[in-house]
Chain A
Amino acid sequence: MSYALEIKGLKKTYDNGFEALKGIDLAVEEGDFFALLGPNGAGKSTTIGVLCSLVNKTAGQVHVMGYDIDTDFSMAKRRVGVVPQEFNFNQFEKTQNILINTAGYHGIPRAEALPRIEHYLKRLGLWEKKDNPSRALSGGMKRRLLIARALIHQPDLLILDEPTAGVDIELRRGMWDFLKEINDQGTTIILTTHYLEEAEALCRNVSIINNGEIIANSSTRDLLATLNTVTFVCDLADPLTEVPIIEGYECLLASPQTLEVEVDQGQSLNAVFSALSSRNVSVTSMRTKTNRLEELFVTMTSGSNG
């Protein structure tokens, strides 16, 4: 099995003595769509910083696409594209020039970079803005520019640090589709995000980091399977005056036309529907009360904090 990223015993202690990473181990397979989750200050950005050489590690080993960053950082960097959390491009440069420069820093001559830039700017809906100064772009456009910049040298590993922060829902969905497409073409993607439904929708594997330690690391499906209870919110066709009693299930009437039902792992939803049908209660729509990954995330990180 080949790994896009292998981290062993990674530690980072800042000059002020803060221990941001306490010896984490992480492995991301090639082709994976991987989520690195954690609350603010957990160590996500420090980990990404080490991978792209913006943070000097204190100890540990990191291999990117098989290259040791201690001995082959230049080769490792050729294989990685990074979409940072903040807009770190020259706000006075034109959109296209930012990409020409980044291509140049990766050794791609201008003539070769231009058609590639055209492809990505068109694909990300920025082509019309190519001659605009980057400061004139909207927040969503700036996010897409960061993605185009990270892809300009066709990396094998794409790392995205909160890529959809502050982006509206429609645009976020568009970016999801784009990232899925990139992943389908073989690019390994590591994503950190605060939108946990994003990780649930996109990522096959998840690690949760908290206080500089990895506290969970498995497939998204396996991790979600550890949840014992899911609360379903049912919208009803007609208002109810009292909570229907369904044997084996905890029910709550949140409003006259909103019924919440707790379903334990292994329990069937069919029994709920049968019971409601027998009482002539009609369900018009249904959803989970909270994002499942979010529920798990809160449980795990609060547990480890406490």
Chain B
Amino acid sequence: MSQLANYEQTAKNFGNPNWVAYKTIVRTEIRRFARIWVQTLIPPAITMMLYFIIFGTLIGRRIGDMGGFDYMAYIVPGLIMMSVVTNSYTNVSSSFFGAKFGRFVEEMLVSPISNQTILLGYVTGGVARALLVAIIVTLVSLFFTRLLIHDIFAVISITILTSVLFSLLGFINGVYATRFDDISIIPTFVLTPLTYLGGVFFSIDLLPEFWASVAQLNPILYVVNAFRFGILGISDVSLVYAYGILISVTILSYLVALHLLSKGAGVRS
């Protein structure tokens, strides 16, 4: 009993709980997607392998070069980013919605941790999954083409920035979702079309002037091209412009997500 008394004393005296809480959320999130690896880590590898085979090997041979590279090498950066976008987004939206649906999000809400800690914990979980999937997809791509990294800083920073941004957007989706359908609507009807039209498979230089201007409104275009610059050294958009857009949209998304959490949107009555 005296041992327990010591614990009680410690409990009364514990300091800022946020760092331990942050690590707890991150650990829980990583354990969650690792536990269901067949659903979370294997499908991106298989999907990307199919893309490499069909678009890269079979169709790519007929297309020839693009941007000075063979077509397979050209699409690899876009496909890696496509995996990062999809996985960071769905990881956070489904996890946060699941916590709401099962009501165990209340465990966090009744605890003394800050809203920032909750948000950062979920975002880190999304980033962790996105990075792991990016590594898996990159390894798969090595069976089909050689990858030479042109700018490692751009590769790392764009990957992290993109996964942070889409984790935040996934979080906002999770906040508003009231049914499981609500967390698949955005990936299906918004993210996938934007990704396909975001320069993964083609250079926007191939588009007529009007459509090339329209394509520049697509944020995924900047993600894909900035990452392609990191790998191949070519981009359809200015790198500075790409970083500017990515950073500003990320900050805006962070503030929106934090505001929603502070207001208790979707989680408090």
Residues of A that sit less than 8 Å from B by CB: 14, 46, 49, 52-56, 73-75, 77-78, 80, 82, 84, 86, 88-92, 100-102, 104-109, 112, 115-116, 119, 149, 153-154
Partner-binding segment picked from B69-77, B98-106, B210-218, B242-250: B98-106
Given the known A-B contacts A108-B20, A116-B7, are A88 and B107 also in contact in the complex, defined by CB atoms under 8 Å?
Answer: yes
Partner of A106, one of B25, B111, B264: B111
Asked if B28 is at the interface (CB within 8 A of a chain A CB), the reply is yes
Contact (Cβ within 8 A) A101 B24: yes
Specify which chain B residues have a CB less than 8 angstroms from the CB of A105 in the assembled complex.
17, 21, 24-25, 107-108, 111-113
CB-based contact A107/B16 at 8 Å? yes
Fill in one digit per residue for B125-159: 1 if any A CB lies within 8 Å of its CB, else 0: 00000000000000000000000000000000000
| Chain B residue nearest to A89 in the complex (CB) | B104
A56 to B107 alpha-carbon distance, docked (Å): 17
In the complex formed, the residue of B with least CB distance to A104 is B24
Check B17 against A88 for contact (C-beta < 8 Å): no
Rounded to whole angstroms, the CA-CA distance of A115 and B4 in the bound complex is 8
Q: Are B107 and A153 in contact (CB under 8 A)?
A: no
Name the B residues within 8 Å of A106 (CB-CB). Answer: 11, 14, 17, 21, 111-112
CB distance from A239 to the nearest CB of B (A): 55
B20–A154 CB distance below 8 A: no
How distant is the Cα of A86 from the Cα of B102 in the complex, in angstroms? 10
**Chain B proximity of A146: nearest CB distance (Å):** 11
Which listed residue (A49, A53, A90, A108) contacts B11, Cβ 8 A? A108
Are B106 and A102 touching (Cβ within 8 A)? no
Query: Which of A55, A91, A106 counts the most B-chain CB atoms under 10 A from its CB?
Result: A106
Q: List 19 A-B contacts (CB under 8 A).
A: A54-B109, A74-B113, A74-B114, A88-B102, A88-B107, A92-B35, A100-B24, A105-B24, A106-B21, A106-B112, A107-B17, A107-B18, A107-B19, A107-B20, A107-B113, A108-B17, A108-B20, A109-B20, A119-B7
Give complex CA distance A112, B268 in Å. 31
B269 at the interface (CB under 8 A from A): yes
Query: In the bound complex, what is the Cα–Cα distance between A230 and B16 (angstroms)?
Result: 54
From known contacts A105-B24, A107-B20, infer whether A153 and B268 are also in contact, taking CB-CB under 8 Å: no
Contact size range, B: 35 or more
SS class, residues of chain B in contact with chain A: helix
A115 with B7: CB separation less than 8 A: yes
Residues of A within 8 A of B114 (CB): 74
Closest to B19 in A: A107
Please, which residue of chain B has its CB at the minimum distance from the CB of A81? Answer: B110
Of chain B, the residue at the smallest CB distance from A15 is: B269
Chain B, Cβ-Cβ closest to A112: B10
Nearest residue (CB) in B for A116 is B7
Residue of A46, A56, A101, A102 contacting most chain B CB atoms (<10 Å): A101
A108 and B14 contacting across the interface, CB-CB below 8 Å: yes
Contacting A at CB under 8 A, from B1-46, are 3-4, 7-8, 10-12, 14-21, 23-25, 27-28, 35
Contact indicator A56/B264 (Cβ below 8 Å): yes
User: Quick check: B7 and A112 within 8 Å, CB to CB?
Assistant: yes
A94 to B264, CA, bound (A): 28
Whether A55 and B20, one on each chain, are in contact in the complex, defined by CB atoms closer than 8 angstroms, is no
User: How many Å from the CB of A80 to the closest CB on chain B?
Assistant: 8
Whether A115 pairs with B3 at a CB distance below 8 angstroms is yes
Instruction: Give me 14 other A-B pairs in contact (C-beta within 8 A), A54-B269, A105-B111 excluded.
Output: A55-B268, A77-B110, A78-B14, A80-B110, A89-B107, A90-B104, A105-B17, A106-B14, A106-B17, A107-B18, A107-B19, A108-B10, A108-B17, A154-B8
Which residues of chain A come closer than 8 Å to B99, judged between CB atoms? 90
**Pairwise interchain contact B106-A90, C-beta atoms closer than 8 A:** no
When chains A and B are docked, how far (Å) is the Cα of A297 from the Cα of B181? 45
A49 cross-chain contacts in B, Cβ below 8 A: 269
State the Cβ distance, B74 to closest chain A Cβ, in Å. Answer: 41
Top 5 closest pairs, chain A to chain B, by CB: A107-B17, A104-B24, A105-B111, A88-B103, A154-B11
Known: A78-B112, A107-B112, A109-B20. A53 touches B102 (CB 8 A): no
Contacts of A119 in B (CB 8 A): 4, 7
